[in-house]
A and B are shown apart, each in its own frame.
Chain A
Amino acid sequence: MAREQVAHLLRRAGFGPTAADLAKFDALPVSAVIDYLVDYERQPDDVDSRIGQIDHVSVTTRGGQFSPNTDIEDARQRWLFRMVHSQRPLQEKMALFWHNHFATGYSKIAGAFGTIHGTKMMALKQGALPGRPGQIELFRRFALGNFRNLLIEVARDPAMLVWLDGRQNVRAQPQENFAREIMELFTWGVGNYTEQDVYAAARVFTGWNLRNATGGLFTSPETYYEFVYNPGQHDTTAKTFTFPIYGDGTRTIPARSAIDGMQDGIDFITALAQHPETARRLARKLWNFFVSELEKPDPAFVEAVASEYLRNGTEMKPVIRFILQSEWFSDPDRWHARYSWPAEFVVRAIREIGWSGFSVDAVRTPLTNMGQTLFEPPNVAGWQLGAAWFSTSAMLARMNFASTLAANQRFNLARSATSLGATPEALLEFFMLERLSPAQFDRQPYNELLTYLTAGEPWTGSEAQIGTKTVGLVRLIVGAAEYQFV
């Protein structure tokens, strides 16, 4: 039971258990595993340095170069590598959560600034090249950080300034794109504000622009772009909203001198971050992410989580710890109650089936066919989650990825099966219960899997037969509905 509870925890707060994880955590109480995940700064942040080492999933280089800071395909490979191998799985998981929450698409940025700077703005690692860390590094840094501070950083993030056109938000003709989405999508949601609020918010962020910090050419990787507050483009007049901005109920951000005008945005973001409706909306999203997509958020959960968030001054770490420790989370009825995202599905499959000699480069196209190209959400609202992941073509892509990975791991799978003795039942039990972690199969599909093992020719347990049937069995389990849930 404890082992299954840990497996559940690792599927939700990470990317699924490996056999080594389960062995490592076997002796620990679940609460200690939660602390291990949440207090992730105690684990080394060495994952990038392990790229290219044996016993790890591979990356594929083009022309001898691996360029994750300037080539988006390599940035995708690096992120997938991190999902497979990070010792801080919850940090990567929350980075994915924030990537979806503040959904920013690489293509628009590359269209405006070229592929090198598009990649840098999305994924530059601190110190690899001149410039600010890319947006995904921001989400890692704030994975369990303060939400208000994250919002402020996002409002000043170069990728976001391009994605929602803040770089062009000027006094004479304010740009509403970011102003609308920060209310509609990043904080409290539709229904809490009016069109007049959108106009006012756009004026708040006038002058929050982007500049070329080096003056260099955009073709040079050494050039970089950064946020600049441009006082000459800031609308200094007062902005009045239909809701309170300040603790005393004041609805107006006062007129300020241009030089002090950046405080408008700080005040506005602070008000949004601290609003109970923002707290509740985050709580509902976290319910769907961590607890269940099969039930609507329990109102008691929403109120409890919202209150943790507000009580802790918009800090996320106590909120996530609270959720993982709660009975809402641990209830066995809610295991396998969330539709896996494509990135979760492929990484978990790799961690459970094996990766020796497999390159994450082979994941990129299948992920796109499943509907989730990393760094390329369909729009600012992020991906359509839940059942929406499971169109016919996306499901075919999942089944076909299971086939690709099983074929790639043919020898490893056969070796583990041969050592096991040789009835069809033993083979099936081993893969279903030990190696893979699907939701429970009912008797009928379970029997279909047994039938599959002896279809074509009677069971002999020969090496050739085990080789053939093992990969087929693994692809059938991983391609079944029961495996699509975490």
Chain B
Amino acid sequence: MVTRREFIRDGIAAFTVGFAAPAFLSSVALAQGVRSRNLVVVYLNGGNDALSTMVPYQDPFYYSRRPALAIPAGQVLQIGSDGSGKTLGLHPRLTGLRNIFNEGRLAVVQRTGYLNSSRSHFQELDIWGTADPTAPTGLGWLGRYLDTLPAPVDALTGWSSMRETPRALVARNVGVPAIPDARAYSFSSPNDGAEAFIELVAASRIASHVPINRPHLSFVNGSIRGALETLDRVASVTAYASTVTYPNSGFALALRTVAAAIVRGIGTKVFWVQTGGFDTHASQGNAGAGAYGDLMGTFGDGLSAFYMDLRNQGLLNDTLVLQFSEFGRRINENGSQGTDHGAAGLMMAIGGAVRGGIYGTAASLDPNPDNPTLENSGGDVRFETDFRAVYARVLDGWLGADSASLLGGNFRQGSPAVI
């Protein structure tokens, strides 16, 4: 367990080194093998109910404010207490993550968010994507990182498992391929044999044109080239023999493809995987049944399989999983056995280099409007750790980048020392 004291100490240490000598930090990171390192971002789409993921099972207000949803203390997977002495437990369906926690390779950062949470799915996702709460319209925080890599940047340096490229991966100079299904990632032709190949060559040559004054055409041409240049290597991951059986969910199968790419040494530095359904306005259920338990099952079982597969392959030390969601949910349940949009949530980090433990302090759920750990008149959890401080830790400590320039400010102070 990381104590708050250690957490503060580590945070300041990292701040000092990073601030004084970013170049040195980068070379250290390089020496530590940053070239083979990869980051797997896991996004829980819809606004994850953090209070159900990690449960303050001894807070009496948790039960009084959630009479239908509260998970009985006897059912949560108790993982100890945080620096403020608050006892916490994982959702009963997260047995795999509890095991990773016990191995010291799961860090949970509580009460992540930012000031004046908008509570809009779409604005929040842009804010988390750009790391810019005031003008969340530009490039993504990881896209900006990709833009710092020395040219030419390989077309598979980023990899989205979604049909779209998420905001976080939008870069100025680097196109991130969207590969929802590696098996379907192919070029078909109305003709056979040599003619089909001639078509492929022609398509590629047409798309190599850069029209003057028509950047929108160039952008689409970039997508065409990005697809055609990566077909062969993407196809090479489809024959992967994993060391564990992954659950049969889209999320787990996307992680399986990511594992295949890592094992193949494709060279991808940033992967994006997500799973949805977290906008639980209704019928959320509690421990035993309901939609939220299924969500946790999908999330936890998929990640555990991925973790064990990489461990068996000896690649755990190369991988860092970073989980987030766009916001937490209201403390009070609503009349539909669900919860509405709230403020602070939680983030997780998993990997061989992770320093496991509970970071930050839990909120008191006392609805007193003066309760400093809540906001919105006691309605929502107030953030304690700026999400950009976690990003800063990942950028500086894992990717060997300079977080201050990429995040447009220094967020190293108080950054949880999860790695």
Contact = CB atoms under 8 A, between A and B. Distances in A.
A276 B160 CA distance: 39
Contacts of B236: none
Interface residues of A, number: 63
Contacts of A439: 214, 217
A26 B376 CA distance: 62
A176 B380 CA distance: 14
Given A180-B341, A399-B187, A400-B187, A392 B179 contact: yes
7 contacts: A175-B334, A369-B180, A371-B164, A393-B178, A393-B227, A448-B202, A481-B224
Given A195-B119, A455-B198, A392 B187 contact: no
Interface string B109-123: 000000000111111
A199 B202 CA distance: 58
Interface string A269-308: 0000000000000000000000000100000000000000
Interface string A379-407: 11100100110111111100110011011
A169 B188 contact: no
B336 interface: yes
Given A165-B281, A475-B190, A451 B202 contact: yes
Nearest to B178: A391
A175 B160 CA distance: 34
Contact of B187 (A165, A396, A484): A396
Contacts of B178: 391-394
A445 B206 contact: yes
A184 B198 CA distance: 50
A468 B191 contact: yes
Contacts of A445: 205-206, 209
Contact of A482 (B195, B217, B219, B332): B217
Given A392-B178, A455-B202, A387 B189 contact: no
B202 A177 contact: no
A89 interface: no
A180 B279 CA distance: 13
Given A449-B206, A476-B199, A471 B190 contact: yes
Interface in B90-137: 118-123
Interface of B: 45-46, 118-123, 160, 163-165, 175, 177-181, 184-191, 194-195, 198-199, 201-203, 205-207, 209, 211, 214, 216-221, 223-224, 226-227, 230, 279, 281-282, 332-336, 338, 340-341, 376, 379
Contacts of A422: none
B227 A396 contact: yes
A392 B186 CA distance: 11
Contact of B177 (A198, A392, A482): A392
A13 B15 CA distance: 56
A2 B224 CA distance: 33
Contacts of B211: 442
B82 to A, nearest CB: 27
Contacts of B120: 180, 184, 190
B158 to A, nearest CB: 11
Given A173-B335, A175-B335, A472-B195, A388 B164 contact: yes
B130 to A, nearest CB: 14
A17 interface: no
Contact of A379 (B121, B216, B226): B121
A189 to B, nearest CB: 9
